[in-house]
Structure 1
């Protein structure tokens, strides 16, 4: 640990996403497919709450690791070795997701806690000689994660009825502690001024994870399609899933993705923007994609069934979460209020009220049409202004 493992300044490696980081991301393809499977098979209020806990937990693991590789140089052998170790633990977590509220609760909890504490402990050692302010931040973080870890393990050991509330408390500790600067009695708190981040790196990493999540949705949809006989309804459901995925890609990558990197680079408080826009807001975007993948599978499996409350929530809720996440993202990074996205959210909420006389296939077609209209609105505005970025609205 005498080595300086931080990314070098003014180097081609300062902002570059390393291949080992993408290797770590591959583990989350399995995680996202298992999350979609869990939510599809547990379409109830309790299942929704359990799914929310799992999505937020896996997002927290991924985003914390992204922050670590934003500071540490993945080319260095110790850092690369740790990322490989974290990938193995992440694989154990991914294989235990589906039974995390069942027989594999303890495996899931121990893997999660080990990953969080192990990665944070490594940062404490790696930074001790080279960045005192950031070192103190990770010491504080280690304290909070240790407290949360107690609730994760207790939730797995105690009877089932205690699991959801205890794991909910653990997540609340982790998320709220970050917003409070990891304040610890006698040690003070961290400020976003202590977090010098690479805007291009964290923006690219988050964008790549959005691509992974969209790819996972196609994977889930494709498996559902090949498992059944080819029918007209099935083919239409597959086309709608593809069109919805294209619309989601377009809304994020056509212009919005570049805004975050530029905002961080030009901001006097880059840590604050990175924390809000990428640590918190992107969790909503990813949740929207996961929920949409469940909806696509529901349409393929039961295209003509009556629309239940759970079906309406998945079919409408996924696009709503996605658009809300994009609205919040653009507001945080650029103070742009995208009226097109808000209009899309309003239209989707109207569809939710009209959903129950419809079939899942028809409702999916209508939600996809709303996303396509938002895409068209945004693109026309950008083309008419003759700029690379759209005007607000």
Structure 2
């Protein structure tokens, strides 16, 4: 088993970076809330994929190159500035400010490549392939900002294709992954992103009269956000860290990191965006029927999140995927209820998620009690 460094943990500067990145998630939710259509959803998915690819790239970067010098911190600040510009341009990323989004994305890529070149000879070898492909993807996004349709969307579609190819084009054993830092970094960004669902509650009730019914609906929205947290964190991210740390082969460890913390996290983040939009819409029409698109967004957002986490668990060979799939199907099935009454769907989703959490916890609690009893018996003997 590869030995891990217990001191290699996420710095406050990296957490600051994550806060800037999550602003893009907030902007995506706001953009989708104003354009809740199939084309609006497609645009959000495309933006999320390319943005997450580079956020994940920075998670790999700081796993290999700690931001401990003034030069490194300055380059990381440049990357943060690029993410901020991208977030500001998101509402018009496929419109007037497409070029601005692309320019910010190019800055993010350049800063990433320059920083990674400081990670040693193996990183230099890796970046000879990965760096140009990342810059090609960024160039496609930038070019799309200047081109008319359909070329704009074709360029955006080409960017994630290049990024996926990039993940298979270089030897994964060149990456040195410190499991503790890597898992913690992704866990922190997930908890900040889930906070977006809580922010949606505040946005959803802005300007409304705070009566008992609205407060109840807000609390139900908080319960839904809580069970998003429970799904990811209740069993502890230490288990995921141990699975990653116990992969001895560097190539297999790198591939697991890409698949589980890269690709599988995309539907989870998309689910958070959709759930935030669904909660916001439900609070605005708590005692009315939601439009079908709004009701599907609420139930479907939770379902997409759970599907992503089920894939994550399967990749790590951890239990719980079946529970996620069952709860996802039930949450999606609440859409007709939301079309009838918004608060009824919020309540149903919260109850379904809590029931699923209890059902999943019962065997674990029983095992823990059995193990404790056996331990007490052994000490008594």
Q: In 2, Cα distance between the equivalents of 1:374 and 1:192? A: 37
1:315 paired residue number: 298
- Write out per-residue CA displacement over residues 54-106 of structure 1, whole angstroms, 9 at most, x where no aligned residue: 22222122111010000002223322221112112211111111121222111
User: What is the 5 A alignment of 1:119-268?
Assistant: 119-124=112-117, 126-127=118-119, 130-132=120-122, 134-178=123-167, 180=168, 182=169, 190-268=170-248
Structure 2 CA distance for partners of 1:10 and 1:370, relative to 1, 3 Å: closer
1:96 alignment partner, SS class: helix
1:326 aligns with 2:309: yes
Give the conservation status (yes or no) of the 8 Å contact 1:18–1:75: no
Residue 11 and residue 266 in structure 1: after superposition, are their counterparts in 2 closer, same or farther (change >3 A)? Answer: closer
Matching residue of 2:18: 25
Say whether 1:72 aligns with 2:68. Answer: no
By how many angstroms is 1:355 displaced? 4.0
The structural deviation recorded for 1:160 is: 4.3
- TM-fit CA distance, 1:266: 0.6
In structure 2, relative to structure 1, the CA distance for the partners of 1:379 and 1:10 (3 Å cut) is: closer
Q: CA deviation at 1:369?
A: 1.4
**How far apart are the structure 2 equivalents of 1:356 and 1:219?**
21
Equivalent pairs, count: 366
User: In structure 2, how many angstroms separate the alpha carbons of the residues matched to 1:28 and 1:361?
Assistant: 31
Q: TM-score, normalised by structure 2?
A: 0.90
Shift of 1:10: 7.4
Match of 2:96 in 1: 103
How many angstroms apart in 2 are the aligned matches of 1:149 and 1:357? 41
Is 1:281–1:325's contact at 8 Å kept on the other side of the alignment? yes
- CA distance, structure 1, for counterparts of residue 342 and residue 153 of structure 2: 30
Residue number in structure 2 paired with 1:4: none
The whole-number CA distance in structure 2 between the counterparts of 1:388 and 1:210 is: 33
2:257 maps to 274
Q: Take 1:299 and 1:10, find their aligned partners in 2: how far apart are those partners? A: 45
| Distance in 2 separating the partners of 1:122 and 1:381 | 46
Sort the Cα spacing of 1:385 and 1:343 in 2 relative to 1 into closer, same or farther, 3 A: same
Structure 1 residues without counterparts, runs of 5 or longer: 1-8, 183-189
Do residues 88 (structure 1) and 78 (structure 2) align?
no
Which of 286, 304, 308 is matched with 1:303 structurally?
286
Q: Which residue of 2 aligns with 1:54?
A: 47
8 Å CA contact retained: 1:237, 1:296: no
- Residue 116 (structure 1) aligned with residue 109 (structure 2): yes
RMSD: 2.2
Give the Å deviation of 1:11.
Answer: 5.9
1:259: how far off? 2.1
Assess if the C-alpha contact under 8 Å between 1:233 and 1:300 holds in 2: no
Return the alpha-carbon distance in structure 1 between the equivalents of residues 369 and 18 of structure 2: 33
Q: Take 1:356 and 1:303, find their aligned partners in 2: how far apart are those partners?
A: 9
Q: 2:36 aligns with which of 43, 47, 69?
A: 43
Q: CA deviation at 1:167?
A: 0.8
1:336 to 300, 305, 319: 319
Q: Is the 8 A contact 1:155 1:166 kept in 2?
A: yes
Q: In the alignment, what sits opposite 1:377?
A: 359
Which stretch of structure 1 is more off in the superposition, 63-72 or 286-295? Answer: 286-295
TM-score in terms of structure 1 length? 0.87
Shift of 1:150: 2.9
Render the CA deviation track for 1:283-315: whole Å, top value 9, x for unaligned: 221111111111110011122343333113211
Of the structure 1 ranges 310-319 and 65-74, higher mean CA displacement relative to structure 2 is found in 310-319
SS for the counterpart of 1:230 is coil
CA contact (8 A) 2:296 2:332 kept: no
Give the aligned partner of residue 344 of structure 2. 362
- For 1:228 and 1:116, locate their aligned partners in 2 and report how far apart those are by CA, in whole Å: 42
